[in-house]
Chain A
């Protein structure tokens, strides 16, 4: 069987020419206290919102439009003689007075879901009394029995109640020290729906906090903290002087970040894109870079310093809640010089291919002798000068068999061995598969993928590193989009992280059973990712790509082919053994996005651990001992992701695998084209169905034996190979 092998050095390979330039702003202390209009940033998680009307200066002088307060006619007054007066002339700053206590009041109308409220009242007494002065809530009944209710005590706590259960307590003044508030009006803004399941309270005395309702799923974008309902209030003791208003917001506003120093000056200022992570509430948002000291002028690329300007547009008196914002200039890509590749084969002494279980260890090691002769060949190929074979690292190499690409690699540093005889000088270079590009690529600026489809995210990371050839199994999973806060995201790249690190952590968190690696397929060295689910890329029930026979005669008879062809269908030196189980207890630890508190999920295989199991009852994965696996993964930001990660890791680790190793007279090829590679499903006669987890591993070297009557081509075609597979089915 005649084959044609080439080892072409210095081919065209896609690389990153200029890194993406980006900035990501989210946390409270990343936002400017100076450059803003009509926006408010709450401190506890760093959410930006349009300034609630009661917090704007116009609230003191204007009483219509977004500044309107409710009047006596807007309420159902159950009993008592309520008086209405206006604090400020001419009219509209309505206060309702009653010289009695415990008279509940409710709005006549219902308001929309997550309606925010402003409530203000006079503190009678000495101002140091510690009792509930105001009781209010969002419901159609006025006794706190259903819905969200608040007990407000300006010298003490704000108590958050839900359906008559106390669920949270926070200091009204933001501190527990005493404050003199006698004879003053105090107020609170109550803003539900922030960060999905949160309720933001801002008080006149400096209190500001978010209560999260844990009974509501923060991963669900459609949840409502309060439904469309009425607002009620009650002054339980003393006498009442109360003002109430449904909170509205100005139509638009912006907030700038603190100074940003971009990694570089962008080539194309018009190429910037933005991604604002927000709950829109019917409005819209945008972001861009502006000049550092002039937020009204766009960034001009003159210097690296600038600011990010985030614009919020509200709709129908509501505000978007902005959690984080990213602006970026895309990376630029270019091919390495592929105009004059040099074929190393004629000078190759030894050539070893290793494809191990780990995606990172694949390499093709090529040892060439006589670098002078290689240089001469390079000049013939058109290299107009010194090719620097023994000097330069990271150079591309493509291996082809019969013109079909079987390896597209990146060289390590050359290992040069000197000798007095020019012909015996050696250069050895280990070429790694494109995984090397993923390990080489580091994010210079942070990037966030909250809410992306899982497979779109994989493709994006590959693209960032310059890898554009892939086969990825379809999967509907979406990365969670829990509102990020204080610089914590569901899925982000930090500065300096490699694409490989991010992919590995992402697979661990979201797709623990997926296999991922590079494989030459259909003319490209592609990234392959998928799992063994029915219809998946590694479905054991799928038709094996190759059947291997015990004997040459058997292969010839079964396939009806000659001996030369049949040799590509024969296995030898088969051995099989069980692998030790990796763990029978798995605990996944992540961190809650909102406060950084740990989230943990665990699962045990009690039957595997149980030392008292009767011999005949022991499962295949019995160890009679506790074998733990603990993983911390910061992409686990919610309980649901933790459960998913734990289930998958447990399934993978606690299983008994039967692992087979076998040889072949030469590297298997599928229909004379692609090499048989890790990830392929093969049938091995009388043994079973196996998914290859390593291989081909092959070693070929040149010998100075003029009597050996065989051509180089034949010897390459006879490259013996080793494979390792796990048993996935029987025959």
Chain B
């Protein structure tokens, strides 16, 4: 006999945890990129020169 049971833990909860992890990771990726980069030859700020 096979009986259905509710899935343990919340899927939304894990999505939220993922999201928080991602925010930390984003900032870390940003830091790493900036410190490893040579002076760019081509650069645009889409707020001022889209």
Contacts and interface: CB of A to CB of B under 8 A. Distances in A.
Interface in B12-50: 12, 14-16, 18-20, 22-23, 26-27, 29-34, 37-47, 50
A663 interface: yes
Contacts of B43: 599-602
A639 interface: yes
A666 B7 CA distance: 12
Contacts of A702: 1-3
- Interface size on B, as a range, is 35 or more
Contacts of A376: none
A687 to B, nearest CB: 14
Contacts, number: 161
A708 B47 contact: no
Contacts of A351: 2
B42 A592 contact: yes
B3 A631 contact: no
Contacts of A642: 42, 44
A715 B3 contact: yes
Contacts of B30: 587, 628-630
Contact of B15 (A589, A632, A659): A659
Contact of A601 (B7, B27, B46): B46
A575 B27 CA distance: 30
B44 A587 contact: no
B29 to A, nearest CB: 5
A593 to B, nearest CB: 11
B3 A708 contact: yes
- Interface size on A, as a range, is 35 or more
Interface stretch (A222-230, A253-261, A426-434, A693-701): A693-701
B24 to A, nearest CB: 10
A603 B50 CA distance: 9
- Find the residue from B7, B33, B40, B44 having the highest chain A CB count within 10 A: B7
B33 A724 contact: no
A602 B46 contact: yes
A580 interface: yes
Contact of A705 (B3, B39, B44): B3
Given A587-B30, A587-B33, A715-B1, A582 B12 contact: no
Given A699-B4, A724-B12, 19 more contacts: A587-B33, A592-B41, A597-B41, A598-B38, A602-B43, A602-B45, A628-B26, A628-B30, A629-B26, A630-B26, A632-B29, A643-B50, A653-B26, A699-B5, A701-B3, A702-B1, A705-B1, A706-B1, A722-B6
9 contacts: A580-B20, A582-B26, A583-B23, A600-B37, A602-B46, A643-B50, A693-B15, A698-B4, A720-B7
Interface of B: 1-8, 10-12, 14-16, 18-20, 22-23, 26-27, 29-34, 37-47, 50
Interface of A: 348, 351-352, 356-358, 575, 577, 579-580, 582-583, 587, 589, 592, 595, 597-604, 606, 627-632, 639, 642-643, 646-647, 650, 653, 659-661, 663, 666, 693-695, 697-706, 708, 710, 712, 715-716, 718-720, 722-724
